[in-house]
Amino acid sequence: DGGITQSPKYLFRKEGQNVTLSCEQNLNHDAMYWYRQDPGQGLRLIYYSQIVNDFQKGDIAEGYSVSREKKESFPLTVTSAQKNPTAFYLCASTESGGRNQPQHFGDGTRLSIL
């Protein structure tokens, strides 16, 4: 079955450490997104990519970085510059161009600070 796979499900970060969250999709979607979810805040956009080797900052990109070397993969790195990384992170994808196409979501990664 097609879908989005996020790993790991749980991740712990030490002070000063960079960590990478994986997101893989086999839906052949062009566009991919990273959202952060905090209690009472809804989902906020971190980065998105409409095509391979291209990506744009979202509303809260500071302290994060991404790459899009392959269509199916869009990893998110939480750098040591992100001072409050504890949150639930969701990856999503959609067919590019069709605004009414829904975004498909992965099951998420919960990141905590040790």
Partner 1 sequence: AQTVTQSQPEMSVQEAETVTLSCTYDTSESDYYLFWYKQPPSRQMILVIRQEAYKQQNATENRFSVNFQKAAKSFSLKISDSQLGDAAMYFCAYRRFRDALNFGKGTSLLVTP
Q: Which residues bind partner 1 (CB under 8 A)?
A: 31, 33, 35, 40-45, 48, 50, 56, 58-59, 88, 90, 92, 94, 96-97, 99-103, 105, 107-108
Question: Nearest-5° angle of CA 38, CA 41, CA 46?
Answer: 70
Q: With contact defined as beta carbons under 8 Å apart, do 93 and 34 qualify?
A: no
What is the nearest approach in angstroms of partner 1 to the Cβ of residue 15?
26
What is the nearest approach in angstroms of partner 1 to the Cβ of residue 43?
4
What is the nearest approach in angstroms of partner 1 to the Cβ of residue 55?
11
